Amino acid sequence: MRPADAADESERVAALVARARAAMDRFSDADQARVDEAVTALAWSIYKPEHARELAEMAVMDTGLGNVDDKITKNQRKTFGTLRDLMRARTVGVIEEHPDLGIVKYAKPVGVVAAVTPSTNPAATPVNKAMMAVKGRNAVIIAPSPAGLATTTRTVALMRAELARIDAPEDLVQVLPAPVNKALTHALMQACDLTVVTGSQSNVRAAYSSGKPAIGVGAGNVPVIIDASADLDDAAAKICASKTFDNATSCSSENSVVILDAVYDAALEALARAGGYLADDDEKRAIAATLWVDGHLNRKVIAKDADVFAREAGLDERAQKARFLMVEESAIGPEHPFCDEKLALVLSVYRAANLDDAIAKVRRILDVKGRGHSCGIHTRDLSHARRVAEEVDVVRVLVNQAHTFGNGGGFDSGLNFTLSMGCGTWGGNSISENLNYRHFINITHLATTIPEDKPSEEALFGSYWKRYGR
């Protein structure tokens, strides 16, 4: 980039940041009720049925990814669940008191937040992050994917209109102006107080190297085990619903299923009853040639309906009528793409001799991509689920759940709603939980004296001295 261009990007960003800081100043005296009113306004801007549909239609038209009905569901369900979580949290003034420790905690804003959002969710993710940021009395500037710019710009306009409706500062939420590019996004990362990135790993790495605090999320590539004790039809129905939702655009979509040998054939039959089509060897080769072109995912078929993919691959009418395609695979490694993330309605199927073998295969798949993100197991034996949690380096292990619906929060599990899943240091991230409002507040600790809490040397060292001597 020429120096003049860099200066221009910095000036454009500086103007946005100045407006954001002015909005924060106006909002700084807001009490919890006022903050919650603003968060509710942001939620309603996308939850409102006509807006949820409008933004879903725009997203599919702009990006060519996913489908309208599921994006409507995502726009509303994720927003509703996030609002539920946020309304139960305190983020203004005293948020915790621990008299026994003499500690009182006060919440403070983190500042101006840069929220980098992906093309797969150009409406839902900006609102999700804006709600969390404003919950902490911060301002947020959205840096959208260029492919989703029009949808995100419209989404931000709706959020700003709803803020204006309640007489809250509109500049609490802004969006980078067109043309959006990496240089402008990187300038924003360097000018803000915190960057939160959902999307490409190149953006995550750029945020970490920006010189400012950053929270990034890792890549998904979810493998799920079908245990010998699983309810096979229940497991198949949940895998199908999750895999096909929004045409597999979610990072939480199942990419591989590892089936124990004892139920392998029966599980495949259950998956077929749920809507899966099992490809033969020739069809598998056609699917591979269609899904990957010159080593890259083919944008003509990713996140498209199954019939579109099947026709493009030259598969017959039976495959075209299926809800998703299945390929049997045994190889795992970087040179075997079926074990990688596919962003398409293609599910890789592995056979495992027993639970030990299944866990080993899951770990190897995640070593190719997705380490730290998540995995799942369908089982009636909770001890098997505990083994997966103990032995696999992921932040989330879902048990008997449709992964796409449960991983980022559900109404029947304790995970908070989010569209950004931290993957821990395994995935190169600074958080090992679902992104939530706590990541958007600073905390002041008021510490007062308490009765002395100082154990004796014997209490702390006694067992060590007894075993090893002094």
pLDDT of the residue at 5: 65
Instruction: Say if 343 falls within a structural domain.
Output: yes
Q: Is 272 exposed, middle or buried (0-12, 13-18, 19+ CB in 10 A)?
A: middle
State which residues form the domain around 167. 3-217+435-446
CB of 379 closer than 8 Å to CB of 400: yes
How many other C-beta atoms are found inside a 10 Å radius of the C-beta of residue 3? 7
pTM comes to: 0.95
Residue 52 has pLDDT above 80, yes or no: yes
Of 62, 65, 53, 122, nearest to 305 (Cα)? Answer: 65
Band of residue 40 on the pLDDT scale cut at 50, 70, 90 = very high
Q: Is residue 124 part of a domain?
A: yes
189 with 227, same domain: the answer is no
CA distance 116 to 399: 31
* Tokens, residue 209: 């190297």
Q: Percentage of the chain with pLDDT > 90?
A: 96
Same domain, 190 and 333: no
pLDDT surpasses 70 at 177: yes
Q: pLDDT digits over 407-430, tens only?
A: 999 999 999 999 999 999 999 999
Question: Do residues 21 and 140 share a domain?
Answer: yes
Query: Residue 386 falls within a domain, yes or no?
Result: yes
Please list the active-site residues: 251
Check whether residue 144 and residue 207 sit in a common domain.
Answer: yes
In this model, does residue 3 exceed pLDDT 80?
A: no
Q: Are residues 186 and 239 in the same domain?
A: no
Mean pLDDT of all residues belonging to the chain: 96
Burial of residue 4, with CB atoms counted within 10 A of its CB: 0-12 exposed, 13-18 middle, 19 or more buried: exposed
- Residue 170 backbone phi and psi in degrees, to 5: -65, -35
pLDDT at 199 over 90: no
pLDDT at 115: 97
Whether the per-residue pLDDT at 338 is higher than 80: the answer is yes
Q: Residues 6 or more apart from 208 whose CB is under 8 A from it?
A: 214, 216
Across residues 200-219, what is the average pLDDT? 91
Domain CATH for 17: 3.40.605.10
Q: Is 167 a member of any domain?
A: yes
Is the pLDDT at 220 greater than 80? The verdict is yes
For residue 241, the model assigns a pLDDT of 97
Q: Are residues 165 and 64 in the same domain?
A: yes
Shared domain check, 361 and 299: yes
The strand pairing partners of 443, in sequence order, are 107
Q: Is residue 212 part of a domain?
A: yes
Query: Same domain, yes or no, for 17 and 160?
Result: yes
Q: What is the pLDDT, as a whole number, of residue 442?
A: 98
In a domain, 423, yes or no: no
Q: How many domains, the chain?
A: 2
Whether residue 401 has pLDDT greater than 70? yes
| pLDDT band, very low/low/confident/very high, at 110 (cuts 50, 70, 90) | very high
What is the structure's pLDDT at 200? 82
CATH number at residue 273: 3.40.309.10
**7 pLDDT higher than 80:** no
Which residues are paired to 352 by β-bridges? 260
pLDDT at 123: 98
pLDDT for residue 201 = 85
- The mean pLDDT value for 270-290 works out to 98
Q: What is the DSSP annotation of 323-390?
A: SEEEEE----STT-GGGS---SSEEEEEEESSHHHHHHHHHHHHHHTTTEEEEEEE-S-HHHHHHHHH
Q: How confident is the model at residue 83 (pLDDT cuts 50, 70, 90)?
A: very high
**pLDDT per residue over 118-151, tens digit each?**
999 999 999 999 999 999 999 999 999 999 999 9
Q: Are residues 226 and 205 both part of a single domain?
A: no
> Could you tell me if 159 and 57 lie in one domain?
yes
Residue 453 lies in a domain: no
**Given a cut of 60, is residue 2 above it in pLDDT?**
no
Residues 145 and 226 both lie in one domain: no
CA distance 416 to 429: 18
Element of type H or E holding 149: helix 149-165
pLDDT tier at 378, thresholds 50, 70, 90 = very high
Provide the token pair at 67.
């489908």
Same domain, 274 and 193: no
